[in-house]
């Protein structure tokens, strides 16, 4: 299964825009575990996922060729 | 009103006299007269928003001028609100500019926000942003949210229902504030002047669209903007259920906005003299928590490098030294690191943070 990952702000410093080929990631909870496992820095950070441009509020099924965005909060002005 | 002043937008197809009247009747509060607030205020003023309130308790400093374009070198040291109000009033004497030279807090924010129809948040810290979000949600005021970090920005409209979704708020995206130092701010991380210029102008555009009821404002959407690529990415916001939003004034007044990083403050903030004393002890470890690219580069024999981005992993390891001195560029991230250390070790180790950081004690670090 192919997933496109888009990231913003300081998360983009360690997770590049990329397409990954993975199996066994059925939903957004599993994807979160995968991400935090592969990029441990993410564990201590606040971030939100968006699946195909919709904010993820509860565990949601991921289909092939999904796009997942990882967004940290910004406060600067 | 002078129709001639607004002639070019009145004659614009899709805007017109009716939209102009809506702007003139609107009351907009701009919070924060910084990199975002300055351009937003200039365009809202020029466009003919009838009443504009401006909030900021800060004075102008030299390092503001590369991005806060309402101010000149001669304004350094003056109150931002006073200088901005005068300049904006000169730009457009036909509208009302209301000065609020204060810092918004729990006990004054509801009173001030209730006098306005639209709130534009261009502040520079999470404490203010959560305070403003919750106050706007409580008062049901449309909130134009705009923020920057590095070369990127975020823009959204909250507390405004659209035909698809009831109104959302900032906590639907980020339920609780990050800890202090978790997300670098402009002072720590730097900011290119034109970025808040772009985002502040976009925030003014969203405010005007919302008031004039034209186009598709970013209602229940958050737009991410990247200056380096000129790319934008818009995400639809829906309701989350994992946060607490005050539903009454009493609940609001009982919220804790002051310090987003709980945990006992058992660590000690020190100056360079105390640093030198601690440095003599064998049981002291000096930790530089800046990222590896940051300058000045310190002697790695003396200062152990543990960037904040790797701090979590470091916290999993054990080390023998009893005195732990944390340093960074300005003494902000080192406080976050000290809090984390304090929480883990309690009385088992003595934790110190160099107040003011390397920049404040530059002479000390350059000679050593």
Best to test chain A binding among B154, B185, B194 (most A CBs inside 10 Å):
B154
pLDDT value at residue B266: 77
DSSP H helices, chain B, are: 7-10, 16-25, 37-47, 80-91, 106-113, 126-139, 186-189, 194-212, 249-253, 272-279, 311-315, 333-345, 357-360, 362-367
**Residues 27..56 of A with a Cβ closer than 8 Å to B: which?**
40-41, 43-46, 48, 50, 53-55
pLDDT value at residue B79: 97
Please report whether residue A76 resides in a domain.
no
pLDDT digits (tens, 9 = 90+) for B11-45: 999 999 999 999 999 999 999 999 999 999 999 99
Banded model confidence at residue A1, pLDDT cuts 50, 70, 90:
very high
Lowest mean pLDDT among A57-71, B192-206, B270-284: B270-284
B-chain residues near A67 (CB < 8 A): none
Query: Which numeric CATH code is attached to B7-253?
Result: 3.40.50.720
Best to test chain A binding among B149, B155, B176, B241 (most A CBs inside 10 Å):
B149
Question: Which backbone phi and psi does B49 adopt, to 5 degrees?
Answer: -65, 130
Please report whether residue A45 resides in a domain.
yes
Please report whether residue A31 resides in a domain.
yes
* B256 vs B32, higher pLDDT: B32
Nearest chain A alpha carbon to B172: A57
Q: Average pLDDT of chain B?
A: 91
Closest chain A C-alpha to B125 CA, distance in angstroms: 5
The closest CB to that of A71, out of B184, B224, B239, belongs to: B224
Please report whether residue A14 resides in a domain.
yes
Banded model confidence at residue B262, pLDDT cuts 50, 70, 90:
very low
* B132 vs A45, higher pLDDT: B132
A11: domain range? Answer: 2-71
Count of A-B CB contacts under 8 Å: 111
Banded model confidence at residue B263, pLDDT cuts 50, 70, 90:
very low
Would the CB atoms of B238 and A43 count as touching at under 8 Å?
no
Q: Which residues have CB under 8 Å from B317's CB, separation 6+?
A: none
* Residue extents of the structural domains in chain B: 7-253, 268-367
Would the CB atoms of B149 and A10 count as touching at under 8 Å?
yes
Overall domain count for chain A:
1
pLDDT value at residue A26: 95
pLDDT value at residue B260: 41
Closest chain B C-alpha to A1 CA, distance in angstroms: 23
Does the pLDDT value for residue B145 go beyond 80? yes
Best to test chain A binding among B128, B224, B339 (most A CBs inside 10 Å):
B224
Please report whether residue A16 resides in a domain.
yes
Does the pLDDT value for residue B126 go beyond 90? yes
A-chain residues near B152 (CB < 8 A): 8-9, 74
The complex's ipTM works out to 0.96
Could you please report the per-residue DSSP string of B100-162? E-S---HHHHHHHHTT-SEEEE--SSHHHHHHHHHHHHHHT--EEEEEEEBTEEEEEEES---
Stretch A12-35: mean pLDDT, rounded?
Answer: 94
Query: Which numeric CATH code is attached to B268-367?
Result: 3.40.250.10
Please report whether residue A37 resides in a domain.
yes
pLDDT value at residue B368: 52
């Amino acid at each position: 299964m192919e997933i496109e990952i888009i990231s913003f702000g300081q998360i983009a410093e360690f997770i590049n825009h990329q397409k990954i080929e993975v199996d066994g990631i059925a939903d957004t909870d599993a994807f979160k575990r995968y991400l935090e496992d592969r990029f441990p820095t993410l564990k201590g950070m606040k971030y939100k996922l968006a699946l195909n441009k919709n904010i993820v509020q509860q565990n949601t099924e991921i289909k092939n060729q999904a796009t997942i965005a990882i967004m940290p909060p910004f406060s600067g002005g | 009103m002078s129709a001639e002043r607004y002639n070019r937008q009145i004659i614009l197809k899709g805007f017109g006299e009716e939209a102009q009247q809506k702007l003139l009747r609107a009351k907009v509060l701009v919070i924060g007269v910084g990199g975002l607030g300055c351009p937003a205020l200039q365009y809202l003023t020029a466009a003919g928003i009838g009443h504009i309130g401006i909030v900021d308790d800060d004075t102008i400093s030299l390092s503001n001028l590369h991005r806060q374009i309402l101010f000149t070198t001669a304004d350094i040291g003056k109150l931002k609100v006073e200088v901005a109000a005068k300049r904006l009033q000169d730009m457009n004497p036909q509208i009302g500019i209301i000065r609020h030279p204060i810092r918004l807090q729990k006990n004054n924010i509801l009173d001030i926000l209730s006098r306005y129809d639209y709130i534009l948040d261009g502040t520079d810290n999470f404490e203010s942003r959560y305070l403003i979000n919750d106050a706007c949600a409580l008062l049901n005021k449309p909130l134009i949210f705009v923020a920057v970090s590095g070369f990127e920005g975020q823009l959204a409209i909250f507390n405004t229902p659209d035909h698809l979704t009831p109104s959302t708020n900032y906590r639907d995206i980020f339920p609780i504030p990050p800890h202090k130092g978790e997300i670098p701010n402009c002072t720590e991380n730097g900011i290119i002047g034109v970025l808040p210029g772009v985002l502040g102008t976009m925030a003014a555009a969203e405010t005007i669209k919302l008031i004039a009821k034209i186009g598709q404002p970013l209602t229940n959407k958050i737009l991410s903007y990247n200056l380096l690529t000129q790319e934008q990415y818009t995400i639809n916001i829906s309701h989350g259920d994992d946060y607490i939003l005050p539903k009454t004034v009493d609940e609001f007044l009982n919220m804790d906005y002051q310090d987003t990083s709980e945990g006992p403050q058992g660590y000690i903030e020190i100056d360079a003299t105390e640093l030198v004393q601690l440095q003599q002890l064998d049981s002291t470890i000096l930790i530089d928590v800046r990222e590896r690219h940051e300058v000045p580069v310190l002697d790695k024999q003396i200062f152990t490098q543990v960037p904040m981005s790797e701090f979590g992993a470091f916290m999993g390891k054990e080390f023998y030294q009893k005195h732990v001195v944390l340093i960074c560029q300005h003494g902000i991230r080192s406080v976050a690191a000290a809090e984390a250390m304090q929480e883990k070790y309690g009385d088992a180790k003595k934790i110190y943070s160099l107040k003011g950081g390397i920049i404040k004690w530059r002479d000390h670090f350059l000679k050593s």
